[in-house]
Every structure is written in structure tokens, then in C-alpha cells.
Amino acid sequence: MREIVPGKTEFGQEIAWEIVGVIASEKITGLGDATSAGMYVSNQQSPTYGINLIVRAGVPPRPLQRAVRSAVARVNSDQALSEVRTLEEIVDQSMLGNRVASTVLTAFACVALLLAAMGIYGVISYTVAQRTHEMGIRAALGATAGSLRTLILQEGMRLTSIGLLIGFAAMVPAMDVVTSMLYGVGTYDPLTIGLVAAVLSAVAGLACFLPARRITKADPLEALRYQ
């Protein structure tokens, strides 16, 4: 490979580089970087303006700063040490953008879930109320209150199941976008999907049960006169 000339934007003559380290996977700018292999050579052959010193110890890292600075000063008193950070701090700083994005997306997701629950409750409860006249006829013909509530609940949950299936189908392309934006987020999270489905199903069931309970407790003659 070509020799790197210190202080100049040019290459020198062809030289044989000595490889001093190989890493199977490394991430340069953050945890979201694509995994790639890395090769390290001697600083004399590939000089840089900034050098990272990594210290591994079995004691808390903060008290080691003074000892590390003293050791470096004994080798070169003109060498300054800046940005002394622990590995945890480096990881936290790398994840800051992802953490902000996940917080914003979580807030929007909660608002969307709330709006979806309110919409489902309003639509289903209105649909059930519109069947008051029908329920009065069924009650007059001998239908029991339990069978009427079961009928309303089955119809409401059938509509809810259809809506959930449509939503899950639309979720597939959306999850690919979210996965590309956030580090460590899987394509599918069964716990989150199950929780959302349970919340919406519970809201739909409540929207069916409350109007149905009110209708079945009313006088059938009053239900027949309902417009």
C-alpha cells in the first residue's frame, strides 16, 4: 500500500504495511453503523491527528483519570488528554438520537392508540344504539336479554376483528420504516402487538356491552318506539 505522508494530503511510495490488529465487527460513529470488519496498522505508517487511548481496569474508571494522565505525561509531557469518557458514556451519547426519536414515536403512538380507542368506542356504541328498534322487536318475539347482549357483542367484535386484521396488514411496511430509524428495534414485537390488540378489543367490547345492557334493561315497548 502507499505510504501516508504526515501533514500532507498526498501518498508516498509503495510500502508493506504491518497489520497490528483485526476486528471482526466495529462501529465507528455509533451503534447504528453497519457492521464491518476493521484493520489496524502502526501509527508510524498511518499517522493521524487524533489518537484514542482505551484503558481497561477492574476498578471504577473515574479515579483512574489522574493515574492515566500521569502515565501519559511521563512519556510525553506535551501530550494533552481530552474527552475522557467511560464506555457507558460513549454508548449513551451514541444512543441519544435514537432515544429522542423513540420517545417522540412513543408519544405519537400513545396518542394514535387513544384516538383509535375513542373512534372505535364512538362508532360501535352508535351502531349498537341504532339497533335499539331491532332489539325491541327481538325482545317482543321472545329473545332473552342474555341472547341479545351476546348477539350485539358478537357483531361488534366481528367488526373489531376485521379492523385489527386490516391494521396489522398495514403495519408490515410501517415497521420496516421504524426498524431503519431506530437501533435495536425488531421488525415485530409480539408483546406490543398483543397489548394494542387487547386494548382495542377491550374498548370495542365495552362499547358493545354498555349500550346493549341499557337496551336490554329497557321496556321492549319503549325500544319499539325508538327512532
| Res 137: pLDDT | 77
In the DSSP assignment, the letter for residue 24 is: E
Report the distance separating Cα 172 and Cα 199, nearest Å. 20
β 19-26/36-41 pair status: antiparallel
| Res 33: pLDDT | 67
Cell numbers placing 211: 349500550
| Digitized pLDDT (tens) for each residue of the chain, 227 residues in all | 666 666 666 676 777 778 888 888 777 766 666 667 777 877 777 777 777 788 888 887 777 888 888 888 888 888 878 788 888 888 788 777 778 877 887 888 889 888 888 888 888 778 777 777 777 777 777 778 788 788 888 888 888 888 888 887 877 777 766 666 655 555 566 777 788 888 888 888 888 888 777 777 766 566 555 55
- Residues whose CB falls within 8 Å of the CB of residue 205, separated by 6 or more in sequence, listed in order: 153, 156, 157
| Res 152: pLDDT | 81
pTM of the model: 0.57
Report how far apart, in Å, the C-alpha atoms of 126 and of each of 9, 67, 112, 210 are.
Answer: 74, 73, 21, 11
Report the distance separating Cα 220 and Cα 130, nearest Å. 15
Report the distance separating Cα 137 and Cα 53, nearest Å. 83
CB contact at 8 A, 113 and 165: no
Residue whose C-alpha cell is 396489522: 168
Cell numbers placing 57: 481496569
CB contact at 8 A, 153 and 128: no
| Res 224: pLDDT | 55
| Res 45: pLDDT | 73
| Res 30: pLDDT | 66
| Res 191: pLDDT | 78
| Res 192: pLDDT | 74
- Residues whose CB falls within 8 Å of the CB of residue 68, separated by 6 or more in sequence, listed in order: 53, 55, 81, 84
Angle of helix 145-181 relative to helix 132-140, nearest 10 degrees, comes to 150
